[in-house]
């Protein structure tokens, strides 16, 4: 069995109009739950990886509903902190064709955003863990959340865990007084594994390569620049998305590891059901690959890209696909036949 993974971040209630309705048209909203780090936890749990998600939830029916949602997938919640006034929300308007999607956050002063140092017993959380995953969304939420994130990273590093970060830049969240460029470099300095894309890296660290070059070549150079800037990094994985429209994308990824560089095949996705959580599915796929067989990094990358490709077909934030389904896609079974 793979080593235990701990994820840390806010879980929100997601409310979205059915189908492709706009928020201004909707009279009902579909309800589910999600959050970047929790999405990673759900995927890993379904693939047989022991995983514990650390968060803070209000001690009311909404908090309990959120916890039940995560538990149904096998995510451990032993170290959830109960308290605070409210569950964070976000409203999603799904895009179609040339109309892009839209997200409206309602998460200020949420239970998680008001988490403080000392509320989580990090030595107990990490006692039987091997891997700690967080994302740039957490320190974006509040000064408190950034402080607790640093607290967790300090204990994880002292405990000898592998630490990974998904940059996940969200411009609308960095409102508490410091920018991502001021906060993230110190936190990323604790990490062994980094996830993101070219845009995230430019927004947070100012690194950019000429756009007239091949995307994989640009990413290769960016990865080398990041590794020089953050010496603890040994693995960097980027997603590569080509947006023909809101509902038609191409999808691939690259992985840098100690100087070796890997490129995945490109998938054409002509009809997207739900784009949210695809990056998290990619992150989970890479972590799964690194935990189960670090000797075949090309396969780890291709598993991650295929898993995230399938997530585009799943409604909601979390990727509800099996290892067998991912492996079928990796073998080239892309026709969507009914399995009988």
Catalytic residues, by residue number, are 280
Q: Measuring CA to CA, how many Å separate 69 from each of 66, 73, 98, 164, 219?
A: 5, 7, 33, 24, 36
Is the CB of residue 173 less than 8 Å from the CB of residue 180?
no
How far apart are the C-alpha atoms of 299 and 295, rounded to whole Å?
A: 9
**Residue 109 CB-density burial (10 A; 0-12 exposed, 13-18 middle, 19+ buried):** exposed
User: Which residue do the tokens 């970060």 mark?
Assistant: 165
Q: Read off the tokens for 198.
A: 């070219």
Query: At residue 89, what are phi and psi to the nearest 5 degrees?
Result: -125, 155
User: Which residue do the tokens 């409310």 mark?
Assistant: 15
């Amino acid at each position: 069995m793979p080593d235990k993974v701990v994820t840390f971040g806010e879980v929100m209630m997601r409310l979205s109009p059915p189908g492709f309705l706009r928020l201004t048209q909707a009279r009902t909203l579909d309800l589910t739950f999600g959050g970047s780090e929790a999405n990673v936890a759900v995927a890993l749990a379904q693939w047989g990886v022991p995983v514990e998600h650390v968060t803070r939830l209000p001690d009311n029916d909404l908090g309990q509903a959120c916890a039940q949602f995560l538990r149904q997938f096998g995510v451990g919640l032993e170290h959830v902190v109960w308290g605070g006034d409210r569950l964070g929300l976000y409203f999603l308007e799904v895009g179609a064709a040339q109309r892009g999607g839209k997200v409206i956050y309602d998460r200020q002063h949420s239970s998680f955003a008001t988490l403080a140092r000392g509320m989580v017993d990090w030595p107990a959380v990490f006692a039987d863990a091997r891997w700690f995953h967080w994302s740039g969304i957490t320190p974006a939420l509040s000064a408190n959340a950034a402080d607790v994130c640093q607290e967790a990273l300090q204990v994880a590093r002292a405990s000898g865990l592998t630490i990974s970060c998904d940059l996940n830049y969200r411009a609308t969240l960095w409102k508490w007084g410091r920018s991502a460029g001021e906060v993230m470099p110190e936190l990323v300095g604790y990490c062994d594994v980094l996830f993101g894309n070219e845009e995230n890296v430019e927004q947070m660290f100012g690194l950019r390569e000429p756009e007239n070059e091949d995307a994989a070549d640009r990413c290769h150079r960016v990865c080398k620049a990041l590794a020089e800037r953050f010496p603890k990094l040994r693995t960097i994985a980027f997603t590569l998305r080509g947006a023909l429209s809101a509902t038609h994308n191409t999808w691939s990824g690259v992985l840098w590891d100690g100087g070796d560089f890997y490129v995945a095949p490109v998938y054409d996705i002509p009809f997207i059901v739900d784009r949210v959580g695809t990056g998290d599915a990619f992150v989970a796929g890479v972590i799964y690959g690194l935990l189960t067989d670090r000797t075949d990094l090309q396969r780890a990358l291709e598993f991650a890209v295929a898993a995230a490709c399938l997530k585009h077909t799943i409604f909601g934030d979390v990727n509800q696909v099996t290892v067998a389904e991912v492996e079928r896609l990796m073998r080239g079974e892309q026709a969507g036949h009914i399995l009988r």
